[in-house]
Amino acid sequence: MSVKEVRTIMKSGGSLVVSLPREWIEARKLKPGDSVELLISKDAVIVKTLSVEKLEKTSYLKYQENIRHLVNSVIAAYLLGYSSIVIDVPKTVKDLFDMEFSRVKNKLMGLEIVEYSDNKLILKTLVDPLELQPIDVLKRMWQITGESIEESITSILEEDIQLAERVIQKDDEVDKLYFYTVRILRSCAEDPTLQTRLNLSNINLLDFRIAAYLLENINDRALEIALTTQQGILKMLDKVFLEKLNISKALLKDNHDDVYRIFFNNETDLLYGLLERINKIKMELTLSRLTSRELSIYEQVSMIARMQYDLAELSWVPLTR
């Protein structure tokens, strides 16, 4: 449990010092001359004893007549940052659990079954957050969603079923990266030491969480466009609509590239061009008559553009890295 205290800075010789709480010192049996580790970030300095090892967070789950509920509980434990998940499950339903769990396992990065006995399963998360940091995951999500936007619209314009299938396959990878990001950011919110090691401010935690959510949703919109692609799709869409959709594809690509620069490099001067392109997309796809299929594509494209702007708005607070 965290306790917040206000302490006065004092002068000792040529240095400024702050005393450590007596209860904290006594609990760790520290004495004058002992060394401690300082984790220094932009917003905080964390004092950590060198002998303290990382404590594993373990979640204990039990089968209660509903396999789907059990699998959902595993997902929840993963997202909440538990490093170990112990499941009490009867041998008679293990095959059913394996089948249900296999449908989501690929979305839970680093989560592996390490022990499988008659009535117990142990899962552990084997990925190190210091090796795969949130900012790197976000950049990968940015790359994939950019590809999905372009490929989903191209799949319609060229009636390319295989290209549409590629977008569908990429959706699982984006979901996996999204779940991992949520897990790490929640862990940072509970563990200031991890937050400091990752060099993330409180604003970063909030902005990264929103950015991951928006990128995952942008990819979902691209997925919906890709699912529209089918044999004979070009005959179902108006020629003028297709021409304007092609223009919108180029505008969305420029948006995606600029939003990356705005978010990661704080190049906020690009925001005005972004707004102009969003308005142009609306104008390009606004026709006097749209079929239900065309309207569905228009709505997905418009939502992507809107979320691109929402991502750019996060840039008003510079990133720490």
Q: What is the DSSP string of 269-307?
A: GGHHHHHHHHHHHHHHH--S---HHHHHHHHHHHHHHHH
Identify which of 210, 206, 223, 179 has the alpha carbon closest to the alpha carbon of residue 310: 210
The domain 10-49: what is its CATH number? 2.10.260
pLDDT at 17: 81
Q: Kindly report, residue by residue over 36-54, the tens digit of the pLDDT.
A: 777 776 667 777 775 444 4
Q: What is the pLDDT along the chain (321 residues), one digit of tens a residue?
A: 566 778 788 777 677 788 888 887 777 777 776 777 777 766 677 777 754 444 578 999 999 989 999 999 999 999 999 999 999 999 888 889 999 999 999 999 999 999 988 789 999 999 888 889 999 999 999 999 999 999 999 999 999 999 999 999 999 999 999 999 999 999 998 888 888 888 898 889 999 999 999 999 999 999 999 999 987 888 888 899 999 999 999 999 999 999 999 999 989 889 889 989 999 998 888 877 888 899 999 999 999 999 999 999 887 544 443
Could you give the dihedral angle defined by the CA atoms of residues 293, 211, 130 and 319, in that order, rounded to the nearest 10 degrees?
150
Q: State the span(s) of the chain assigned CATH 2.10.260.
A: 10-49
Q: How far apart are CA 232 and CA 259, in angstroms?
A: 34
Given a contact cutoff of 8 angstroms between Cβ atoms, the answer to whether 181 and 214 are in contact is no
Q: State the span(s) of the chain assigned CATH 3.30.110.
A: 58-125
Q: How far apart are CA 280 and CA 302, in angstroms?
A: 11
**What residue spans of 229-238 are helical by DSSP H?**
233-236
Q: State the span(s) of the chain assigned CATH 1.20.58.220.
A: 134-316
The count of other CB atoms within 10 Å of the CB of residue 245 is: 22
Using DSSP bridges, classify how beta strands 58-62 and 84-88 pair: parallel, antiparallel or unpaired. parallel
Q: What is the DSSP string of 125-139?
A: E---TTTS-HHHHHH
CATH topology of domain 58-125: Translation Initiation Factor IF3 (3.30.110)
CATH topology of domain 134-316: Methane Monooxygenase Hydroxylase; Chain G, domain 1 (1.20.58)
